[in-house]
Chains A and B, each alone.
Chain A
């Protein structure tokens, strides 16, 4: 393992493992969000469960670490890679050879981070965080969600964030498997296909919650 994480592939390994971990989290989070369709009682019960479950309590710092690793290494990798081309091309046409999202993962990541900050400030700070710090927890998380999404600007911000994530996943999902080495000429196509399906599920699932809350509640 010596020097693994200082090598270019090692750094990408961190990106890919943390990314896959976050991908799993995204699905879980989405399923939990969907309890909003079950009404206030269901949703609040879910929140109650999540706030008090010991496993979740352990996982929260792990999740945070996942985010931090993913972001910190993204910055390291991006800065390193920009240094590899000190003089840039006058004309460069990459649209023929690669997808837009694959070239703009860092920018997409920044949008997702902005969204994440907003999201943490809006909800998490008033819900789960308070359990850790022993502060005041929102009485009805359901009402909090409904009231926030009633604001069209907030709802739109969330939707933009979610679709940035859609782009990010289109590339990030199969790219993670490529980096770990679990890919070949056949599986590269399969992973790309799975990535597409997954990205759509995630994006549509989250969007549905926002739209439903905004329009119907």
Chain B
């Protein structure tokens, strides 16, 4: 047996979670008061967890790097949240949501976790409505739904184009309630820089106060990491500028294994890159694919004229347009999953049909929908997105189609967790995008919000009790212990080392180089030569960083360059880990596309015989090769099949 025990409960799939809940231990209210929990991150996962754990009576300390928990990047999710409510009577069910998620993830996720996710999805909607989340409603006063990629039913609940914001405000409000009650203490503008282990258990963290630069110690009986994904390793991504992988990476360094790091989602509908000074990419919600049709011209001469701005897209006649998603995938059309849509766009652009001057853009056209439904209906559905597009590009999408191109959006990989969401370090948990558990090799739209809230509200409050029930005799963690001393010293040394370099390149200079290496070699299409090259280039760039980075200012003050430098130092290691994982996975699945492994039509070719496993990496020290462990995936309830969105 592998050293990884996923602790999946026995029994039929549909009963696993309820049986497990009945079997695990609980902590009495009197004892909860004596137990401390640290939550790092305040997005949907962390915010919901901190609130729910506070409600239960634990002493919670919650940390975020922004000035408020509400800034967490969950807030930027636009489209919606899935749930198997079947309010539309379109034959949706927990099983169907489970099935779609497993299939969408290209059969690289754990059955039991995904089923539990589908199971609690309905509770999430109930909870959010009770918290006052203003979901979209129909005239009858009941909740409305829309469709998302990878599903043939309407199961996505939404609040205009700001669903993530509204759900986060709900969790944030619940958190505020606990803060006012004193069960949760909030530490804003604090960044976790190390995890502290005592006798092999997670017992605290070292943070840097971003306002004063002070290094501080915090102890707890358990630590929950909900710090999001690491997509910013690519420099340009749809992630917020401050999103980073450092908290997760510190856990990895301290022994928490990292699963499927190469599984990165490239989102098909982002505003294309416009120049070298660009700082981030803007996502246009997937919901736009409900009514928008994606196309490029059929004729190369039209492409040329478009690039020279001699004609506008709207002037190209219908018969000269190639609606390539509808052509290739008649059953799902424009609503194929994200990885499929992204690759199809890349395929067309690589073939020379890219419609802007960089050749890296396709059209997302609403003219058919506007003709069918009228401008008002479209404005009602997507008004804010259209406005956002126009502000950024100066083009009115009611008249001319939007230009879009895929961009890095989400990382399915993350810290390995068992069924209880515990990592390989006892007492350390990982939630939401920070863990790896539910999305396999590709995440379906509107499922990230679902997972964050499921983990935070409905899984961790139960499973953490099972661990803490054994800790009720443990007194408050003494932060003057040598383990804290050492961890703090290491953090101080790292910071001093960075500050002492005073080289010639800014943090962004080096980060852009890393992003370039990653996008070229570990991006939408990967191959052995590129990945091998990337590994050595990243190692070289890392050496360059430690020799030549320049961080102005001082340590003991508000210093944004220092924050970025610390995060980049971790990205430089994470990037390499991603490349290694991608190199190891000699198959194409979901967001991971190896050019050596494709069908004749250019579709991803999975290799279930050899790669039906989670690749779990163990840290072995700086500049040492990590060791990979396998968690074999067992599919007892689903027939593993080649994904087919054609018919």
Do A and B touch directly, given a CB cutoff of 8 Å in the complex? no
* Residues of B participating in the A interface, judged by any CB pair closer than 8 Å: none
